[in-house]
Structure 1
């Protein structure tokens, strides 16, 4: 497993990282986004999705209440999930996150469904930088 550490000083750097990561993703990738509230998980997911669909202004709402938001990038399905409100890890099956083996799936709060860890191709941990400035990011590729 290769691990990379980065510091993102602002939202533009987060968006740039998302755009870069999008170029490395392939159909079937499962990306786990770890981090506390406000660490930037949704901001990074938005940047990735916008890059994948090829529209920097594409509406990408937080999936907090819907749990899963679907998108399409040409022939590739994209699912963006937020498991924060998941009551029981067994509910993950009902969300259909792994039903399409060719979908790119981004999951916030994957700790709520630990069985996803083994299926992940990319894990990203975000944390608020020292003094509340920027974001620290650890990217682990499997």
Structure 2
């Protein structure tokens, strides 16, 4: 079975649906996972990250890290920490390396907005979440696995 065969497709009607989808996705995630959120401005990447954070049980509000580039969200009781990165303002792989994300990747779920083409070297396996927004505001989402056991995990999604 190819990775294309394991891709999951869905449609989300509202921002709240996007957050709920993130919560569902969080149930599949574990420390060491790299999740790359791909989509245009306003597609719902931060809303999805908020849902993932809620599903992981992180403490505090998950907000866009656009100006601070990276935020570490501590795990609540029994949860998994999340590193939330916005790579939009980064100029390339060298600037990603300067963030030392690889130092924390094994202990947390790392969620990167705008990371396509910049963060793939952080892990031999990752999940790309591709989000597009139609004219009627419905979000079309694709979960695209790359390596590791993502295919098995997505089979139950």
Give the TM-score of the pair, scaled to structure 1: 0.88
Partner of 1:20, secondary structure, is helix
- Check the 8 A contact 1:30/1:106 in 2, yes or no: yes
- Check the 8 A contact 1:32/1:122 in 2, yes or no: yes
Residue of structure 1 in register with 2:73 after alignment = 71
Residue of structure 2 in register with 1:134 after alignment = 138
Residue of structure 1 in register with 2:155 after alignment = none
Partner of 1:119, secondary structure, is coil
- Residues 1:103 and 2:105 are matched in the alignment: no
- Check the 8 A contact 1:30/1:119 in 2, yes or no: no
CA distance in 2, matches of 1:48, 1:69: 14
Question: Which deviates more, 36-45 or 83-92?
Answer: 83-92
Question: Which deviates more, 72-81 or 94-103?
Answer: 72-81
Instruction: Specify every segment of 5 or more residues in structure 2 that has no aligned partner in the other structure, as ranges.
Output: 147-157
The alignment of Structure 1 onto Structure 2 pairs a total of residues equal to 139
Match of 1:59 among 58, 61, 68: 61
Partner of 2:101, secondary structure, is coil
Match of 2:28 among 6, 24, 27: 24
Pick 1 or 2: higher relative contact order, CA cutoff 8 A, min separation 6.
1
Superposed CA RMSD? 2.0
Partner of 1:66, secondary structure, is coil
